[in-house]
Amino acid sequence: MHKFLLAAGCAALATPAMSAGLEIDVTGEANGTIVIDLFEDVAPQHVTQITTIAENGDYDGVVFHRVIEGFMAQTGDVEFGKIDNLGRAGTGGSTLPDLPAEFSDINFARGVVGMARSQNPNSANSQFFIMFDEGAFLNGQYTVVGEVTSGMEVVDAIKRGQGQSGAVSGTPDVMSEVRVTE
């Protein structure tokens, strides 16, 4: 299992031998550390893609562009989600290919991390979301990639968007730097 850390100046957690992690400095209304266990046994292609994007530095400076109260916070648009170019935030991906769905029987509960996609189930790429609350209507429809194990108070502090779309106006919270750790 990989560790996925959304952090402000934290050290990597001790993990099993074959496990890597990510450290992400989060700035904005939400500042702090979110620790996410990535489920490489459930969604191996998605976990590999997230790790590769982080190793390439592509998540650095990416905002939480879609945040809906009582639902989820979405980030990871490495193409259009940078703080200095938010005109199309949420519509892009990475330079890597889209992934085939890796659906599982894991329920979308509070703290579960899923991959965002378009209408096509095989279109997940770089964007992911963290659940604020349970979302059973997503079960079996989106790929689960992990779960928050620490720092839900940081997730809960992420700046909310407006209306049903959840588009964040003004200055959204940012994953300012993402590092892969062993």
Render pLDDT for 49-78 as a digit per residue (tens, 0 to 9). Answer: 999 998 899 999 999 999 999 999 999 999
Lateral strand order in the sheet of 144-150: 62-63, 174-181, 21-27, 2-6, 34-38, 144-150, 112-115, 128-131, 72-75, 66-68
Amino acid at 59: Y
Q: What is the pLDDT of residue 160?
A: 94
Q: Which of 177, 145, 163, 135 is nearest to 68 (CA)?
A: 163
Q: What are the structural domain ranges in the chain?
A: 2-181
H or E element: which one contains 175?
strand 174-181
Q: What is the pLDDT of residue 33?
A: 80
37 or 100: which carries more pLDDT confidence?
100
In terms of DSSP bridges, do strands 144-150 and 66-68 run parallel, antiparallel, or are they unpaired? unpaired
Q: What is the pLDDT of residue 15?
A: 29
Query: Model confidence over 18-44: pLDDT tens digits?
Result: 345 566 678 899 998 887 888 889 999
Token pair recorded at residue 37 = 């266990």
In terms of DSSP bridges, do strands 72-75 and 34-38 run parallel, antiparallel, or are they unpaired? unpaired
pTM above 0.85, yes or no: yes
**Range with lowest mean pLDDT among 2-6, 79-83, 111-115, 117-121:** 2-6
Report whether 165 contacts 14 (CB < 8 A).
Answer: no
Token pair recorded at residue 170 = 């003004």
Q: How many CA atoms lie within 13 A of 47 on its CB side?
A: 21
What sign does the dihedral 182-102-132-110 (CA atoms) show?
negative
Token pair recorded at residue 91 = 């519509």
Class of domain 2-181: mainly beta
Report whether 175 contacts 5 (CB < 8 A).
Answer: no
